[in-house]
Structure 1
Amino acid sequence: MQTHIVPVGFDYDRMIAPLIRDQFDVDRVILLEGTVGSEGNVEYSRNIARKLEQDFQNLLGAKTVREKLTDVYDYDAAFERAYDLINAELDRDGGPAEDGDDSAAPAEEREVWVNLCSMPRPVSFAFATAAHSIMVERQADRDRIHTYYTAPEKYLETELAEELRATRDLLRDLDAGSDEGLAEAGVDPDRVSDRLASTTDLLAEFDERGTTIGAKRIGDSHVIELPVASFQNVKPFEELVLFTLGEHGEFESVSELAETLADELNEEYTDSFRSKVIYNVDRLGPGGKGYIEREEHGKSYRTSLSRIGRLWVRAHADDDRDIA
C-alpha cells in the first residue's frame, strides 16, 4: 500500500504520469496546494490540483485528499507539516484491523512516497529533509520512506518563447501595413501596435533574464536558509536537553542549563550531573549532531538551539515523552 504526498505547483504530468507508466500501486494521495503568490498563480495551481484529484481517482483508483499549505516560503512550517504527514501515514495501517479485534492480523505496511518535482524549492527541500530525518529516527521503517523526482520530457518555456517570436513577427508585418487596410479587415491598428510592443518587451526580458525576474523579499531577507538535517538519532536525555532549550530559548552557560535540568528532574545538582549535561551538550553541539550552538561568552559558553535544533523541537513538540 502506498501513500503519495504531492506538493502541487504548476506541473501536471510529473505528478502522475510516472506512477501510471511504472504501474505504481497507489491507494492514497495527499495533494498540497500553496496559497501564497499572485491570484493568477494560486488559481492556476488550484486548477492543476483539481485535475490531479480527479485523475488519481479515475486512473489509479486512489483515495485523494487536498490540503492547504499556508505559506510555501515558510521552510520551518513546511518541515513540521512534512514531518507530521509522513509519520501519520507510516502509522496509518500499522495496527490491528479497525474492527477492534486485537487478535486480527496487522494491516499491510504502508509505504510513503514524497514527490519533490513541483512547488517552490523551500517546500521541496523541507519535505526531503523531514523524510530523511524520519528515516534516521525510525530505522526499522526507513525502507518504507521514499523521496523521488521525475525529469520532464521537455520544457514548455522555450516552445512558448518561439511561438511568441512568431506572433511578434506577424504583428510586426501587420503593423507595417496601412492603417486603412487593417481598419477594412476590422482590426484596430492601435491594438496591433500595443500588442507588438508588449510582446517585444516580454521577449527581450525572457532573452535577458530567463524564466524568472528579480529576487522576492520574504520576511526580512531575500534569502531563505535551508538547514542541513543531522543524520544521527537523538537519545532520551539529549531529547530533554533539546526540549529545555526550546522552552527557555537560551542559557548563559552550560552550568545554568544543568541547574534548570536538575530542578525539572527533581535531582540534586552535583558535579556528576553537571558533567553529564556537558557531555550531552557536546554531543549535540557543532562538532556532534549540530542541534546546539555554543557562543563563547567570557569564561562560559552561551548555549542555544541551532536552526535544525529548533526544527527538531518544533517537529517533536507534541510527542509523549518519558525521559529518564
Structure 2
Amino acid sequence: MAEQVHYIPVGFDFERLIHPISKGEMGANRVVLVTHDGDPDNDDTEEAARLAGNMANQLERSFDLLDVEVESIGLEVDELYKYERLYPMAYDQLLDELEEGNEVYVNISSMPRTTAFAYATAADSIIAEYQQEVEGIRERLHTYYVPPKRYLVLDMIQRLREAKGLLEDMGEDLRVHPEYIKIRELLDKIDENGVTEGVRDLNEGMHIEFPSSPGSNVEDFEGDVLHFLGAEGTFSSTSELAEQMAAYLNEEYNESFRSRVQYNVSNLEEKGYVDREKHGNRLETKLSKVGEMWVETHHR
C-alpha cells in the first residue's frame, strides 16, 4: 500500500519539522529522521549533537503520539560535510521510496545545510531524470521549507546584553568577575563576527561545492564510459581510454571504436559529466563531480 513519507534532516528545530504534519497541513504515514552524532573530542560538536539528539527524541515521541511511524538514519560528524557521500545516499533512498509507489516529501527547514541541500538536489535530479519515464513524478516527490516565526538566538543575544548591563550597574568590582568577562567577550565576538566563528578545516579546502544537476540524460554507451572511468580513474588520453575500454568490453580496438569513444566523451564533457584537461597534445580525461555522483547513483 502506498505511503506518504517525509525525509527530515534534524538540526536544532522542532516545531518547523512537525507542525506541517501535526497541524494537518500535510499527511504522513512514516517519517525518516536524518540525525548526526557528536565528536567526543570536540565539545562544540558534542553540544550540537546533544541538542540535535534532543530534538530527534522529541520528534520521535511526538510522531508516535500522532500514530506516525518513525525511522532514524544516524550520520557521523565527518559525513555531514561530505556532499559526494550524502547526495548518492539521498538519491538512492528517495528513488527506492518512489519505486515502492510512495509519495515522498523532503523537509529542508533545518540544519545541517549540507544534508538538507543533498536531499533537495537529489530530489531535483530524480525529477529531471525520470519525468519522462515515471508518470506524475512531480506530484509524488516534493521538497518544502517551513520559515520560522522568530529566531531565539536574537532573544539570547538581547538577554546577554541585559545581563552585561546589569552586572555593570551592580558595581565596579563585578567588572572583573569571570562570568562578566565571558559575557563581554562573547558579545564582542558576536558584534565582530556574527553568530558563527571561524571556518572548519575540511582537509580539501574551506568550502563544499554543490554541483548543479545536469540537464541531459545519459545514453547507453555514455553510461559505459562513465562506469569505466569510475572504476579505473583518470586516463592521460582519449586513445588510452578507448584502448582499455575495448579490452574490457572484448571489442576490437580500431579507429571506429576510438572515434566512438571520442564522440561520447565529448558529449559527456558538454553535459558536465566529464572533465578534460590539456597536457601537451593530449587530453587527460576523468569524471567531474557530477559524473562521480552519477556513477554512485546508477549501479550495475
Q: TM-score, normalised by structure 2?
A: 0.89
Aligned-partner residue type, residue 246 of structure 1: G
Whether the aligned pair in 2 keeps the contact of 1:253 and 1:300 (CA below 8 Å) is: yes
Partner Cα separation in structure 2 for residue 164 and residue 9 of structure 1: 24
Instruction: Spell out the pairing of 1:140-289 with structure 2 (5 A cutoff).
Output: 140=134, 141-176=137-172, 193-285=177-269, 288-289=270-271
| Residues 164 and 180 in structure 2, CA contact (< 8 A), matched pair in contact too | yes
Aligned equivalents of 1:159, 1:299: Cα separation in 2: 62
Instruction: Give 1:114 deviation, angstroms.
Output: 1.1
**Could you say which residue in structure 2 is the equivalent of 1:302?**
284
Match of residue 67 from structure 1: 73
Q: Distance in 1 between matches of 2:73 and 2:189?
A: 35
Query: Aligned residue for 2:42?
Result: none
Give secondary structure in 2 for the equivalent of 1:296: strand
1:121 aligns with 2:110: no
Residue 222 of structure 1: SS of its match in structure 2?
A: coil
2:90 counterpart of 1:88: no
SS at 1:230 equivalent: coil
Map residues 125-140 of structure 1 onto 2, 5 A cutoff: 125-139=117-131, 140=134
Deviation at 1:257, TM superposition (A): 1.4
Give the SS at the match of 1:304.
strand
Structure with max Cα Rg: 1
Aligned-residue Cα RMSD (Å) equals 1.9
* Residues 175/198 of structure 1: CA separation in 2 closer, same or farther (3 Å cut): farther
Superposed displacement of residue 262, structure 1: 1.8
> Counterparts of 2:250 and 2:238 in 1: how far apart (Å)?
18
* Secondary structure of 1:113 counterpart: strand
Residue 239 of structure 1: CA displacement? Answer: 0.9
Secondary structure at 2:12's aligned position in 1?
Answer: coil
In 1, Cα distance between the equivalents of 2:102 and 2:297? 21
Contact 1:15–1:117 at 8 Å: present in 2 too? yes
Q: CA deviation at 1:176?
A: 4.4
Asked if structure 2 preserves the Cα contact closer than 8 Å seen for 1:164 and 1:199, the reply is yes
Which one-letter code corresponds to 2:254 in the other structure? Answer: T
Q: Deviations over 1:251-294 (max 9, x none)?
A: 12112212222222222223222222111111110xx2101011
State the SS of the aligned residue for 2:104. Answer: strand
- Is the CA contact 1:136–1:142 (under 8 Å) kept in the aligned structure 2? no
CA-to-partner distance for each residue in 1:110-135, whole Å, 9 max, x for gaps? 11111112122222222222112211
Mind listing any 5+ residue stretches in structure 1 that lack a counterpart? 93-108, 178-188
Structure-2 separation of matches of 1:198 and 1:206: 12
Q: Can you give the 5+ residue segments of structure 2 that lack an aligned partner in the other structure?
A: 40-44
Q: By how many angstroms is 1:193 displaced? A: 2.1
Residue identity opposite 2:69 in structure 1 = K
State the SS of the aligned residue for 1:166: helix
Count of residue correspondences: 287
Task: Tell me what 1:28 maps to.
Answer: 30
By how many angstroms is 1:17 displaced?
A: 1.4
Question: How does the TM-score come out when normalised to structure 1?
Answer: 0.83
Q: Give 1:14-25 correspondences, 5 Å limit.
A: 14-21=16-23, 23-25=25-27
Tell me the alpha carbon deviations over residues 164-222 of structure 1, each in whole angstroms, 9 at most, x when there is no partner: 22222222233448xxxxxxxxxxx79x9222221122122112221111111112322
AA partner of residue 292 (structure 1): V
Counterpart of 2:15 in structure 1 is 13
In structure 1, what is the Cα distance between the partners aligned to 2:143 and 2:68? 19
